[in-house]
Amino acid sequence: MTAVLGIPSVLGITGQINLDYAATAPCAQAAADAVAELLPWYGSVHRGAGALSRRCTLAYERAREAVGDFVGARPDDHVIFTRNTTDALNLLARALPAGTPVVTFGGEHHANLLPWPVGSVRLPVPDSPGAAIRGVDAALRELDRPALVAVTGASNVTGERLPIAALAAVARRHGARIAVDAAQLAPHAAIDIAALGVDYVALSGHKLYAPFGAGVLAGRGDWLDAAPPYLAGGGATTHVGAATHDVRWATGPARHEAGTPNLLGAVALAAVCTSLDVEALHEREQALLRRLRSGLAEIPGVAELRMFAPDADRVGIVSFVVAGRDSAEVSAELARDHNIGVRDGLFCAHPLARRLITEAAARAGRRDFPPTALRASIGLGTTPSDVDALLVALDSRRALGLAA
C-alpha cells in the first residue's frame, strides 16, 4: 500500500480487510526498513568497543531520543524501553513511593486497572468528560495527600478521549501526579507530555505500527531513580561487590533496563515515531470514523457502545453489538465469508464493556443483546472501501442470520 498525505504505508495481505488495529497494528514499512537496515550490523548494545556494538548503541540511544521527541518529553524526563504498555504501567506501579494512593476509573483497560496497589481508589465510569474531571477532583480532595491519577488517553472499547489536559490541571492543583495509558491515543493523535502537563505516558509499539516487542514509559525521573530496579541484572548496576548486598544501581533509564535490550524493537518504534504525521493521519481517520459510525447507526439491530454523548471526541475505535447474535459467531462469519477481521469479546476491559452493553440494551429497550461485543478499529491502512465492506456485510440479513 502506498503512502498518502505524507502518511507512511503499512504491510498487508491483498484481499484481507483488517479492522482490528486497536489490538495489534500492522507493521509500517518504515519500521520494517529500519530493522532490515540494522540487521547486518546487529550486535551488543552498550560498553562494546567493536564497530557493531558502537553502531547498535548509537542506534538504540537515538531511538530513545526519537521516541522522547514523539511524546514531547521534557529534558529531564526518562524514556525507558519496556515490552508494552502493560509492562510500562507495571514498572510505574513498582516505582510508586510507599503509601502513594492511586486514583483511576473502573473503565480502564486491565493494564491500567490491575497493577495498582491494594487500597487504590477506583472511580465509577464517568458519563461525560466533565464528570471525569469532577470525579478526580473530589477523590483527590478527599485523599488530601499526594497521589497518582492513572487514566487512559482514549478508551480501547469506545475510542472516546478523556480530557487529559484538564485532568492534569486538577492533579497539579492537589499536588498529585498523572499517568496516561496512551496505548490507543498515540497511534491516532499527537501527544505532548510537557504541553499537557502530564507526568508519565505509557505506550506500546505493537499498536503504533512497530510490532517488534517494544513499549515505553516516559516521564519524571525522581520516582524511577528512587525505586528498586524493575529487573535485577546486568546493565542496571554501576558496581557489584563480593557481598550480595554490595550493589550500586544505575540511575536513569538503565536502572530499569537490565539485560540485553530489545534493540530492534526500539529502532522500529523510533522509525515510526519519526515518519508518522499524526495530524494528517488524525484528519483522515476522523472522516473514516464518521463514515463507520453513521453507517452502523443505520443498520437495524446494531447498537454502538459509548460512555459519553454521541458527539464526544474519539479516535478510530467503535464497539457495537448485534441484537440476537453471538458476537463471536458474527466475527467468524465476517472473517470466513467477507475476509474482514474485527475483534469480539470484552477487550481486556471487562467491567467497562459489560456495563456499556447493559446501558446500550437499556437505551434500545431490548433484551436480546449478547454478553460480548464486536470492535472495529481503523488506522494507517484503512480505506473507505474497507469501511463500506464491513457495513455491507453487517447489513446483509444472510450474513447476520436475521429475518428479513
* Enzyme catalytic residues: 348
Q: Where are the alpha helices (DSSP H) in 298-366?
A: 327-338, 350-364
Sole residue written with cell 495527600: 145
Query: Among residues 346, 314, 304, 317, which one has the least CA distance to residue 107?
Result: 346
Question: How many whole angstroms separate alpha carbon 73 and alpha carbon 207?
Answer: 20
Q: Could you give the 3-state DSSP secondary structure of residue 307?
A: coil
Q: What burial class does residue 321 get, using C-beta atoms within 10 Å of its C-beta: 0-12 exposed, 13-18 middle, 19+ buried? A: buried
Residue 125: CB atoms within 10 A of its CB come to 19
User: Cα Rg for the chain, rounded, in angstroms?
Assistant: 22
List for the chain the helix, strand, coil content (%; round to 5).
40, 20, 40
CA 115, CA 148: separation in Å to the nearest integer?
13
- Residue 13: is it exposed, middle or buried by C-beta count within 10 angstroms (0-12/13-18/19+)? exposed
CA distance 250 to 341: 45
371 neighbors 340 (Cβ within 8 angstroms)? no
